[in-house]
Structure 1
Amino acid sequence: MSESGHSQPGMYGQGRRRRRRRDRDPGPPAQNLSGPSRDRDYVPRERRDGSEEPTGPLLQKTPIILAKPPGERSKPSVPASGAPSLEKPIMLIKTRDEGGKPGNPSDVAPSVSGAGTAKLEREGQRPTQPVYQIQNRGMGSAASGGAVDPVIGQTKLLPPEKMKHSIKLVDDQMNWCDSAMEYLRDQTDMLVVGVIGLQGTGKSTIMSLLSANSPEEDQRAYVFRAQTQEIKERAGNQSSGIDFYITQERVIFLDTQPILSPSILDHLINNDRKLPPEYNLPHTYVEMQSLQITAFLFTVCHVVIVIQDWFTDINLYRFLQTAEMLKPSTPSASHDSTGSSGADDGSEYYPHIVFLQNKARREEFCPRNLKKMHMAVDKLMAHSHLKYKGTLSMLDCNIFPGLNRDYLETEVNLFLLPMMENDGEDALTRAGSGPPLFSLLPGYRGHPSFSSLVSKFRSQILAMSRSQLSHTILTEKNWFHYAARIWDGVKKSSALSEYSRLLS
């Protein structure tokens, strides 16, 4: 008997201990239990709650039972209350290949697919999940089995594609182009800047300097192509239709063909181009093209820059007021019609308009002459709904250090830019002033340099308020579709057709 008792302690000894634990009435938990013993006590308590035991993974692997030899176990002590205390419970330890540490809830019921995950969700516990899976699920690729899609992740982190040159928004046949759609994104923080002006005033050059280029660069590398020497000699126009360019700062620039252009009229007459059936005379068609483009810019732009190279042409202000009169009404929130009537003035949208005096002479920077120019523009635009004052100031740019804001009683959005010259001495020589008296000192121009003034002008344009173009907030892509509807409405406008009939 002694040999059989010592030779098989694990088989019979363990059975007797288990029967003795089941027969004993469970009492209060012992106070001298160690940390791992409490973890062992957690298992039967959880199973006595009535919840079903996890099936599958918990029964697949044989647990390891650790116990002290019979000689080292102390006899049960009887507390003062008279109830026998429990022996030190046997601790269950998971195998190492399952990972996890003793004491974690995952030791008892690991988070697995199927019954284990469903049990944890019923008990109000969230199954453990790696962080990358949560982020991937938010990116919409949870159907790929929980793995991270590197293509989608990199696409969302890539910067917007940078344009190298301008593209067509409206071609020379006045047709809408869709090539600009691929450069637009689903974000609302954008600024739309358009430009109009007579032929040869420097519209494309100014728009290139405001968007992506500097005066020191070669003009052949500008994003909006400027007039070449050959085009200047034959008095032609470089731009046709509307050109589109968007910067990395999400500013959309729209360069347009010259309004009331004599070169376009000459091209229509000499090449015998067939006019649309609604136009009888070429000069009527040229004027209506200019009005369509200007009315379109007044509807889809936050800022419209009017460039002129001498002060001032009274016919230009008459043209602006005519385009404002024929401007399509802002579509209401209930429908997307683009008719030219049916909306109140209070709900109509009008952009900021900035008058840029390009190629300004030295005497035009005189404070007295500057004040007269502001008063003239204010009188000419007094009855306009366009926002022609209060958003741009040359006095805030420290161009005239001795003048305060009270000097200009009626300050309008007027800015002056001198001739763009790369060499100051050559500019002074061509102006008739001769070389400077001292070669080491800069010559007196009467104004800051061209580069400095362009930088100040660009800062003020980009700081313009980005008011809401329609009754709904537009993203870049929504703006593109909105502008396409407006352009289609401008071409089919009954008011423009009636005005064209009166001209002919």
Structure 2
Amino acid sequence: MHPPFATQTEEIKAMSKHCTSGVDFRISHERVILLDTQPVYSPSILIDMMRPDGSSTLPVLSGDPLPADLAHELMGIQLGVFLASVCNILLVVSEGINDFSMWDLMLTVDLLKNSIPDPSLLTSSSTQEKENKNDNQSGSEEFMADVCFVHARLREHDFSRSKLMFLRKILGEHFEPSSLSIGSTSTTPADTDSSVPSSMTVDELSSSQQDVFLLPLRAHDNSTKFEYGTYSSMLGMLRDQVLSRPPRPFSKNLSERDWLRSSAKIWDMVKKSPVISEYCKALQSSGLFRK
């Protein structure tokens, strides 16, 4: 049994370092596979992968070395495409109520996740694929994980029904042109406060919507004035919500071993994706990154 995921120590926090590098995974007693990745848009990741001349030490794409800032950007996109391709539920975590950079990242993931197949289809034999080709083309779309956006480290004034409803309204408008499945909701993004019972609390709203969840600062664990619950209790609510949520199924049943093999194949596809490669060229010519 693997130990739990590593968490930041006070020393790591003081050094402003990240804790996870690459992708780490665990399997729970209930046979739930959990993935943890390095942070995206992290200065410490960028510093670790940058050579003195500004180029990247990591071969993000085949070919000549990329500038570190561009490689850092593409690495976040690749991780997003990979996770959206192999996970049933994807938690996208950001700090603060007004940080929408992860929303933009998921729009890019939705745009570039082209021709990445359902993991369960990679285990089929060529004969079965030919027999089921028409069914797969007519009856299934490309697999995309259900997404839940978690806004963490919030202050007490960020926890209000009006702010959460407004956040959900913006979320619906932001992803309206995309094919991204944000999750099952009991109300539409256009709902207003008047359409929701006034007795419903913020934590009840979060648990009923399933596409946005709010977490307070850890400091609130010691506060008796914070009415929405402690960090630990709300984190437990998020865990219960995720584990009780019906997962988006793959086209076929997969064993853990088959999922692991298919995931390795999909990561290889992501790294060699011509769509992401073309997007990289567009970014290079945009003038936003070092040449």
Which amino acid in structure 2 is aligned with residue 255 of structure 1? D
Q: 1:423 to 1:259 in 2, by over 3 A?
A: closer
| 1:456 maps to which of 237, 249, 260 | 237
Q: How do residues 68-107 of structure 1 correspond to structure 2 at under 5 angstroms? A: none
Q: Is the counterpart of residue 269 in structure 1 residue 50 in structure 2?
A: yes
Query: What is the Cα deviation at residue 423 of structure 1?
Result: 5.6
Offset at 1:260?
Answer: 2.2
**Displacement, 1:352?**
0.8
Please state whether the residue corresponding to 1:250 is helix, strand or coil: coil
Q: Does 1:290 align with 2:76?
A: yes
Alignment partner, residue 164 of structure 1: 2
TM-score of the aligned structures, taking structure 2 as reference length = 0.77
Q: Bigger shift: 251-260 or 314-323?
A: 314-323
Displacement after TM superposition at 1:364 (Å): 1.9
User: Paired residue for 2:190?
Assistant: none
Q: Which residue of 2 aligns with 1:330?
A: 117
Q: Percent identity?
A: 29
Q: CA deviation at 1:411?
A: 4.6
Q: Work out whether 1:383 is the aligned partner of 2:180.
A: no
CA change 1:278–1:329 in 2 (3 A) is same
| Aligned-partner Cα distance in 1 for 2:167–2:84 | 24
| Offset, 1:452 | 2.1
Question: Which residue is equivalent to 1:318?
Answer: 104
State how far apart, in whole Å, the 2-side matches of 1:392 and 1:354 are. Answer: 15
Q: Which amino acid aligns with 1:349?
A: F
**1:292 shift after superposition:** 0.9
Aligned to 2:199: 402
* Cα offset, 1:232, TM superposition: 2.0
C-alpha deviation, 1:485, in angstroms = 0.8
Task: Give the structure-1-normalised TM-score.
Answer: 0.46
Q: Residue 347 of structure 1: SS of its match in structure 2?
A: coil
Q: Secondary structure at the match of 1:317?
A: helix
Show the counterpart of 1:475: 255
Residues matched between the structures, number: 254
- Check the 8 A contact 2:74/2:280 in 1, yes or no: yes
Give the counterpart letter for 2:159 in structure 1.
Answer: F
Structure 2 residue ranges without an equivalent (≥5): 131-135, 188-196, 285-291
The 5 Å alignment of 1:423-434 reads: 424=222, 428=223
**1:308 Cα deviation after fit:** 1.2
Change (3 A) 1:307 1:385: same
Change (3 A) 1:348 1:364: same
Counterpart residue number, 1:177: none
**Cα offset for 1:475?**
1.0
Q: CA deviation at 1:391?
A: 5.4
Match of 2:276 in 1: 496
Residue 150 of structure 2 aligns to a residue whose secondary structure is strand
CA RMSD across the alignment: 3.0
Going from structure 1 to structure 2, the CA distance change for 1:302 and 1:362 (only over 3 Å counts) comes to same
| Counterpart for residue 193 of structure 2 | none
Q: Aligned match of 2:11 in 230, 233, 236? A: 230
CA-CA distance at 1:343 after TM superposition: 6.2
Structure having greater relative contact order (Cα 8 Å, sep ≥ 6)? 2
Q: Which of the two has greater helix per residue? A: 2
What's 2:212 paired with? 414
Describe the SS at the equivalent of 1:225: coil
In 1, the alpha carbon distance for the partners of 2:101 and 2:212 equals 18
Query: Against the structure 1 CA distance between its residues 362 and 345, is the aligned structure 2 distance closer, same or farther, given a 3 Å change threshold?
Result: farther
CA contact (8 A) 2:50 2:57 kept: no
> Equivalences for 1:21-100 in 2 at 5 Å?
none
**Partner-residue secondary structure (3-state), 2:49:** helix
The unaligned stretches of length 5 or more in structure 1 are 1-162, 166-222, 337-341, 394-399, 429-442
Contact 1:374 1:414 in 2 (8 A): yes
Secondary structure of the structure 2 residue equivalent to 1:269: coil
Structure-2 change in CA distance of 1:404 and 1:367 (3 Å) = closer
In 1, are the aligned partners of 2:161 and 2:201 still within 8 Å (CA)? no
What letter is aligned with 2:200?
L
Residue type of the alignment partner of 2:145: P
